[in-house]
Amino acid sequence: MTNNGNEKTIYDVIIIGGGPAGLCAAMYSGRGMLNALLIERGLTGGELLNTELIEDYPGFESILGRELAEKMTDHAKIFGANIVTDTVESIEKDDDGEFDVRTQLGKTYHAPAVILTAGGSPNKLGIPGEAEYAGRGVSYCAVCDGAFFKGDTIAVVGGGDAALEEATYLTRYAEKVYLIHRRAAFRGSALLQERAFNHPKIEVIRNKVVDVIEGGPSGTTGIKLTDTVSGETSDLAVTGVFIFVGFTPNSGLIKGHFDHDASGYVVTDWNMMTSIQGLFAAGDLRVQLTRQITTAVGDATTAAIAVEKYLAERKEVKAAVGSA
């Protein structure tokens, strides 16, 4: 139901984020005959749009990221997904126990349930060439893209657990892996450090930062480094640069306390419900072992079905109270 002025637009469930998790949640919500709204700030597809080729999604031996995004969007629309382009600014629970979702365009949407699938973003180095060669040698996901670098020489940038773990993982494909950290000491766990430092394919480069990522028509060809102690510069020939300097979940939209880990990832139960009743989370912003397309859509399937049951139970309780 749509209202004008300062009144609210009311739905059964509001899905925030139009990546794989959001599109899957919209599709299942439609199948469940729920009046659902999906809000996405840009084109639907999320990180799929930043991925050139996908080879680890069941049913597709190889598919372009943007093509899979289009297929997922079309599938959601077939089941009645209502998709609007806007930026969500806040999610807040009202006195009536339901949610107000406010957007940048001045809209307020209202629903008893929200599925937050806003994902997150890998932290960037912010250097020349990084954006230009994203998907053409620059990557933020070893599991997604490692197989494209069989026999290559690549660089991994970072000093935490993710960088150490992914550098070791990438040795199954690459012939040589440079592990580059801006400091002498790594932040990652002692066990992961031991595995990476002792691996014959990994060469550790300390006290250096990547200043520029270079390339050409075929993609990435090398990087420029600066020594943080001496200031000396050097060149390193690589065909891939994997950047692991942190990941920021988009959980700041939630107004009010919710359970989360030290990095801000949302804690859910097995139904994908957060510690805020009626607020569900799915995909990359949720605490979990790995962040893949398959895990995102799995989360979303559970969340959408759980919302359907949650709304049915809520309706039963209201009916019982009303007849008492």
Tell me how many degrees the CA angle 151-153-158 measures, rounded to the nearest 5.
130
Which residues share a beta bridge with 220?
Answer: 215
Give the active site residue among 144, 161, 259, 284.
144
Structure tokens belonging to residue 50: 């930043």
At what angle are helices 20-31 and 65-78 packed, to 10 degrees? 20
**Number of other CB atoms surrounding residue 267 within 10 Å:** 13
**Phi and psi based region of residue 231 (left: phi greater than 0; alpha: psi -120 to 50; beta: remaining):** left
Choose, from 24, 96, 100, 145, the residue flagged as catalytic: 145
Clarify whether 141 is annotated catalytic. Answer: yes
Q: Please pick, among 24, 100, 141, 299, the residue that the annotation labels catalytic.
A: 141
Q: Are strands 138-139 and 53-54 parallel, antiparallel or unpaired?
A: unpaired
Strands across the sheet containing 36-40? 82-85, 36-40, 13-16, 113-116, 279-281
Sequence-separated contacts (24+) of 100-105 with Cβ below 8 Å:
100/8, 101/14, 101/16, 101/39, 103/39
How far, in Å, are 12, 95, 112, 149, 307 from residue 320 at the CA level?
20, 21, 18, 61, 20
What DSSP element (H or E) covers 177? strand 176-180
Instruction: Give the Å distances, CA to CA, from 179 to 113, 122, 168, 183.
Output: 44, 18, 10, 12
Whether 21 contacts 69, CB under 8 Å:
no
Which residues participate in catalysis according to the annotation?
141, 144-145
